[in-house]
């Protein structure tokens, strides 16, 4: 049951945020120490993912300062979840949306975004999210007056959504008990905004960034920074204490564990986050209170990018 239950709201945008924290006792058992592992259930957002927060902040900030108006089309690159969020918010506010996606994003994401009336422009599946970024920039450069390009990888409103929301909510629910925050990096907005807020609250909280261990990985939505365009909002100095590299198989195993032992059917980036939280808790030892994020649900991956167990990473 969502924390929004039994409330009256004026818009679907008002349902974004205030997601529950759930304790992951099966993950704690695997850590093998007397530590707590908690996860923010971002799949409870109305668009089904953590990206609802950033998309709402970027759109509302642009409406407030005039960058986005009635004569503009919102266009951005996305591997899926941000696109769903843009599409939902665009439908709610009457803003036309165009998205540049790699041609091999999951069928579920294609179907959801088009259901909202969004136009999809496909980039090469061989170039991944970076190819989508390049193509979006080319389209905007050719007709800059026609488009509003929020550029989620460079937009400070991305991380501000988590500074104003996610971080505050974690503090409200766990307060001074939290010792570690660990989450994966894609646009890096979640860790930059939440990490900044947690560090302001108590500098001793350790912030751990989780990234795939290889450029050829199966963790959709996460970035291997060494082989990718580094997001402009990625400014880890003073915020991120540690980088943790995550193999695809370890993340998939954690996702399987969560659905079978916690009844949490989540995506593979969430599996990476929980696998990372287990490692952090094990290393920190007794008394640690580790918080991570469950970015989305597993039903978005029923027909993913042909990622199967027999695939050679």
51 has catalytic annotation:
yes
Point out the catalytic residue in the list 77, 79, 129, 269: 269
User: pLDDT per position in the chain (313 positions), as tens?
Assistant: 445 567 899 999 999 999 999 999 999 999 999 999 999 999 999 999 999 999 999 999 999 999 999 899 999 998 778 999 999 999 999 999 999 998 877 777 788 999 999 999 999 888 877 888 899 999 999 999 999 999 999 999 999 999 999 999 999 999 999 999 999 999 999 999 999 999 999 999 999 999 999 998 988 889 899 998 899 999 999 999 999 999 999 999 999 999 999 999 999 999 999 999 999 999 999 999 999 999 999 887 765 444 444 444 4
Delineate the domains of the chain, giving CATH numbers in brackets.
12-49+156-301 (3.40.50.1100), 51-148 (3.40.50.1100)
Percent helix, strand, coil in the chain, to 5, is: 45, 15, 35
Q: Check: CB of residue 73 under 8 Å from CB of residue 146.
A: yes
Does the pTM surpass 0.85? The reply is yes
Q: In b/e form, how buried is each residue of 174-205, taking b as 16+ CB within 10 angstroms?
A: eeeebbbbbbbbbbbbbbbbbbbbbbebeeeb
Point out the catalytic residue in the list 51, 110, 199, 223: 51
List the 147-148 sheet strands across, edge first.
Answer: 119-123, 97-102, 73-77, 147-148
Q: Check: CB of residue 53 under 8 Å from CB of residue 45.
A: yes
């Amino acid at each position: 049951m969502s924390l929004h239950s039994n409330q009256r709201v004026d818009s679907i945008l008002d349902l974004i945020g205030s997601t529950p924290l759930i304790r992951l006792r099966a993950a704690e058992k695997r850590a093998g120490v007397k530590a707590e592992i908690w996860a923010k259930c971002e799949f409870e957002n109305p668009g089904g993912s953590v990206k609802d927060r950033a998309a709402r902040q970027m759109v509302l900030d642009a409406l407030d300062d005039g960058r986005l108006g009635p004569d503009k089309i919102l266009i951005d690159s996305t591997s899926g979840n941000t696109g769903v969020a843009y599409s939902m918010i665009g439908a709610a506010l009457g803003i036309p949306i165009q998205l540049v996606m790699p041609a091999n994003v999951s069928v579920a994401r294609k179907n959801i975004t088009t259901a909202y009336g969004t136009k999809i422009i496909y980039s090469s599946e061989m170039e991944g999210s970076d190819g989508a970024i390049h193509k979006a920039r080319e389209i905007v450069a050719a007709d800059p007056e026609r488009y509003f390009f929020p550029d989620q990888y460079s937009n400070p409103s991305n991380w501000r959504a988590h500074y104003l929301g996610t971080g505050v909510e974690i503090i409200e629910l766990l307060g001074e008990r939290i010792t570690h925050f660990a989450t994966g990096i894609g646009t890096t907005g979640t860790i930059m905004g939440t990490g900044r807020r947690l560090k302001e609250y108590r500098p001793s909280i350790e912030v751990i960034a989780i990234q795939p261990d290889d450029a050829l990985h199966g963790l959709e939505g996460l970035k291997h920074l060494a082989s990718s365009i580094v997001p402009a909002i990625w400014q880890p100095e003073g915020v991120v204490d540690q980088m943790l590299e995550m193999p695809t198989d370890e993340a998939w195993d954690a996702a399987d564990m969560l659905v079978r032992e916690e009844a949490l059917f989540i995506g593979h980036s969430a599996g990476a986050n929980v696998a990372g939280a287990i490692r952090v808790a094990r290393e920190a030892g007794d008394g640690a209170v580790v918080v991570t994020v469950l970015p989305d649900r597993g039903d978005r991956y029923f027909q993913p990018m042909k990622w199967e167990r027999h695939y050679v990473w």
